[in-house]
Chain A
Amino acid sequence: MRPPVGLLFLAVLTGVVFLGPFAYVVSRNLDLGTDLGTIIWSADTWEPLRRSLWLGTSVAAASMVIGTGLAWLTIRTDLPGRRLLRVLSPLPLVFPSFVGATALIAAFATGGLVEEILSPIGIDDLPDMTGFRGAWVVLTLFTYPYVYLPVAARLASLSPSLEESARILGRSPWGVFRTVVLPQISGAIWAGALLVFLYTISDWGAVNLLRYDTLTRDIYSDRLFDQPRAMGLSLVLGVVALAVVGAERALHRRRQRIEVVRTRDALTVPLGRWKWPALLGVVVVLGNALVGPVAVFGFWAWRGLRADSDTIGLGTDLGELVEPAVHTAQAGLITAAIAVAVVLPVAWLTARYRSKVGGTANSMVVAGFALPGVVIALSIVFWAIDAPIIQRWYQTFPLLILAYVLHFGAQATRAAQVAVGAVPARLGDAAATLGAGRIRRLFTIELPLMTPGLLAGAGLVMLSTMKELPATKLLAPAGFETLATEIWSAGESGALAQGALASLALVAVSAVLTWAVVLRRLEHY
């Protein structure tokens, strides 16, 4: 079937805009006359690249298990406290990874908080949390929501009929999960895992603080004084990302797509005697990913607030956080809405038609996520600074939003593809034969069915935007401070208490928005 011309046009347009960062990297390599051959065949490239891939794969694998497990337990079972746990589960995503790493170091390092608590009872041999192990733990704990949200959205919209039949035919609950549920959510799991992988290989905050020498860490340390190498390595990273995106797509295409329209509420699986062990597992994950960091920040803020030190005052410092909090929420909400709207045509094209244009546009959108944030930000500077008309928007809000959308659009695309996959083509065809127009079909049939998936994508974009740093610092209008920039500048000046307070505010704002925008809506589906 040939895709409609309008759709192709939109997809091409999106692809071209998303091509920006990649084209910048290529153009810089040409300008600098980078000796790509030497860079590619050097052991100084292979070793960090190997570490990037190993870390990305390990984090993605762990996130698949944790994200899927949490989603199933909180959405489909009678786990105690599941409504609260649904709100808490996606939140670790909002910690900038340098913040998470800082909290982990403070907790586990020699002489750190955990040792202070445990040494009286004789435990003082803590695991070394630097290097691969630390990076793996931190990134897994703070990225599993990339899997959790799309899978939760998919689980919430599954039809119960297949599962019921399997149950009646005598399958065990585990058997039902493996043979009926898993195949239906595997698309969402892979979508999430791909995002985790791309995030991990582009991350600098955690690997830098925990001292794991990946490709991105090299790009950062070379970015000013060895620009040819930094740009060469960026190109390598981008190409690797494109290859992985392509491979995942090829894999995904061969899988069977199951379209089911839900008619009733999804089944709730009674956990029976597994209820408390399952709860314990969830508590351990959330305890480390959310409660632990929050406790560390709470401790720092409390220490700063104590009467005998006058480093911060709750009233004044919280008051100063109001404006950054409003900016953070604005940026998150607007970027999420625009990102979903922008990538929907590409997602539709790739999920519905076998189209080369769609595939290419999709790769462009998704690969943008693998480039380090500072490269994305500089690419916008590069293209906008002397472009007629656009120039006038330089360092204003709209171009900042564009930077966010270019960086995080990938998160909405994969979720949107899963969402489009949930819409049976035959429904639209039936409506068309009955005389319903394109627009009417979109709003009355397709959008309602896609809402859970689109909201999950929007939620991911929103949380990522709320913690973004490099583009915010380089491209925001002067004086536009967000909670993330507050945390950063507090860290720069060593103001631990203020930084902790801003981190707590970031968690609180994202909890409210995640609940209001994503989860409250998801529950009705």
Chain B
Amino acid sequence: MTTSLTKSTVRFLAALLALALLATACGDDDSGAADDGGGDGSEGASSITVYSGRDQDLIEPLLDAFTEETGIEVTARYEGSADLALLIQTEGDNSPADVFISQSPGALGLLAGEGRLAPLDSSLTGLVDDGFAASDDTWVGITGRVRVIVYNSELVDPADLPSSVLELTDPVYDGRVGVAPDNGSFQDFVTAMRSELGDDATREWLEGMAANNSPNYPKNSAIVEAVGRGEIPMGLVNHYYNLRALEADSSLPSVNHFLDSGDLGSLVIVTGGAVLESSDAKTEAEQLLAFLLSENAQATFAAETQEYPLLPGVAAPEGLPPLDGYATDTIELSALGEGLTGTIELIRESGLVQ
């Protein structure tokens, strides 16, 4: 037996472990300061914690600019909006988060319904048009995305494109329209359809899409990629995924088709921000939301992500139709959160999920 080798193994592993622990101990210092943020909020906190369901690449530069302008340090945690909403829900009153930035109104609506969100100052929610903030002021929209049909220009004649999303149940679209039934934006869209047309008409539409064997994809970007490759001729997505894909590879044949304004298929889905009820730095948290709704930040969103700014007066991204046409006045976005449970059930029962 080779005892000496074992000793050397143990020694080697112990050394590695010690090194790793040492590196961790050293690394702790820089995060330690930010850790106990939020906690000492009573006399004007100098730091807040943000849970962001939006990309780090996009949000981090804005947070840095905010810190530079206000001196308020920001600690950020990035993860999908759904998982962050679950985290906030599980953390309850002890949540370290002060601000929640969400990809979709659904996650905000859920937390609002459970009393986890603090009402915002009306000067903040007043910054955006009526439909783009919660009716109870628990969250405010930051940017907007329009639902579109993305199509492959080599496979589809633009003249054959529908003017309403309701036409897609027609047999001529059999197997041709990609959907992402698990995706938040699709679920938001279906929820809006329920509040607009009622559950029966929505079920009929979903069953029609299922009968048309609409190919399933896990998310918007996968649909855009599949359309770009020519795997499917068209799909239901948010407008900016295709714009990003074209930025990376301008030779792609994928094109956005904006449906008629006022059509359900061109629903505007907002990304939004909220302040947590459990936060003890609510003033600073609201300052951050106001910063994200400032002209500069809104222009950054338009330029970087091709999303629609919600602050009136800030120009829409280049080459996109103006947002006015896609008003959401009849659709109560804040009802989305509470309605989603029923929506998911409806989608499941329709057989759309393959």
Seen from chain A, the residues whose Cβ lies within 8 Å of a Cβ on chain B are: 44, 109-112, 208-209, 211, 213, 217, 220-226, 261, 311, 326-327, 329-330, 333-334, 337, 374, 378, 381-382, 385-386, 391, 394-397, 444, 447-449, 451, 455, 470, 473-474, 477-480, 489, 492-496, 516-517, 521, 524-525
Contact = CB atoms under 8 A, between A and B. Distances in A.
22 contacts: A109-B231, A225-B343, A261-B1, A327-B27, A330-B20, A374-B86, A378-B90, A385-B91, A385-B94, A397-B24, A447-B10, A448-B2, A473-B78, A474-B83, A477-B35, A478-B75, A478-B76, A479-B75, A492-B55, A493-B55, A493-B56, A516-B16
Given A448-B3, A474-B87, A334 B21 contact: yes
A208 B182 contact: yes
A478 B34 contact: yes
B182 A448 contact: no
A473 B75 contact: no
Contacts of A444: 3
Contacts of B90: 378, 381-382, 385
B35 A396 contact: yes
A448 B6 contact: yes
Contact of B35 (A478, A521, A524, A525): A478
B206 interface: no
Given A208-B182, A381-B87, A381-B90, A517 B16 contact: yes
Interface in B308-354: 340-341, 343-345, 348, 353-354
Given A213-B354, A451-B9, A489-B55, A44 B75 contact: no
Interface residues of B, number: 69
A247 to B, nearest CB: 31
Interface stretch (B115-123, B165-173, B215-223): B215-223
B92 A386 contact: yes
Nearest to A334: B20
Nearest to B25: A397
A494 to B, nearest CB: 5
A334 B24 contact: yes
Interface string B262-286: 0000000000000000000000000
A334 B57 contact: no
B100 to A, nearest CB: 13
A111 B341 CA distance: 37
Interface string B214-237: 001110011000101111000000
B58 interface: yes
Given A226-B341, A381-B87, A110 B229 contact: yes
B110 A225 contact: yes
Nearest to B224: A494
Contacts of A213: 353-354
B92 A385 contact: yes
- Interface pairs A-B: 5 shortest CB-CB: A111-B229, A225-B340, A110-B231, A448-B6, A473-B79
Q: Is the interface of A mostly helix, strand, loop or mixed?
A: helix
A477 B24 CA distance: 11
B85 interface: yes
A311 B228 CA distance: 20
B31 A480 contact: yes
Interface in B1-41: 1-3, 5-6, 9-10, 12-13, 16-17, 20-21, 23-24, 27-28, 30-31, 34-35
B144 interface: no
B210 to A, nearest CB: 14
Contacts of A333: 16-17, 20
Interface in B85-135: 85-87, 90-92, 94-96, 106-107, 110
Contact of A330 (B24, B55, B216, B226): B24
B91 A381 contact: yes
Contact of B86 (A208, A223, A334): A223
B230 A330 contact: no
Contact of B83 (A109, A110, A386, A470): A470
B159 interface: no
B20 A211 contact: no
A473 B77 contact: yes
Interface of B: 1-3, 5-6, 9-10, 12-13, 16-17, 20-21, 23-24, 27-28, 30-31, 34-35, 49, 55-58, 75-79, 82-83, 85-87, 90-92, 94-96, 106-107, 110, 182, 187, 216-218, 221-222, 226, 228-231, 241, 244-245, 248, 340-341, 343-345, 348, 353-354
A448 B1 contact: yes
A79 B215 CA distance: 46
A473 B83 contact: yes
Contacts of A386: 92, 94
Given A112-B229, A221-B182, A473-B79, A478 B31 contact: yes
Contact of B248 (A221, A396, A494): A494
B85 to A, nearest CB: 6
A510 to B, nearest CB: 15
A148 B196 CA distance: 56
A230 to B, nearest CB: 10
B11 to A, nearest CB: 12
Contact of B2 (A208, A311, A480, A525): A525
Contacts of B1: 261, 448-449
Nearest to B244: A494
Nearest to A480: B31
Contacts of B231: 109-111
Given A334-B20, A492-B55, A209 B222 contact: yes
Contacts of B218: 208-209, 211
Contacts of B340: 224-225
Nearest to B32: A477
Contacts of B221: 494
Given A209-B222, A226-B345, 9 more contacts: A327-B27, A334-B24, A381-B87, A396-B35, A448-B2, A474-B79, A492-B55, A494-B241, A496-B248
Contact of A337 (B17, B94, B222): B17
B79 A517 contact: no
A489 B76 CA distance: 14
Nearest to A330: B20
B276 to A, nearest CB: 14
Contacts of B12: 521
Nearest to B103: A492
B86 A478 contact: no
Nearest to A486: B56
Contact of B229 (A109, A223, A470, A477): A109
A381 B96 CA distance: 12
A222 B342 CA distance: 11
A101 to B, nearest CB: 9
Q: Which of B21, B90, B94 has the most CB of A within 10 A?
A: B90
B23 A326 contact: yes
Contacts of B56: 489, 493
Nearest to B305: A493
A479 B30 contact: yes
A397 to B, nearest CB: 6
A382 B89 CA distance: 10
A394 B96 contact: yes
Contacts of B87: 378, 381, 474
Contacts of B55: 489, 492-493
A374 B230 CA distance: 34
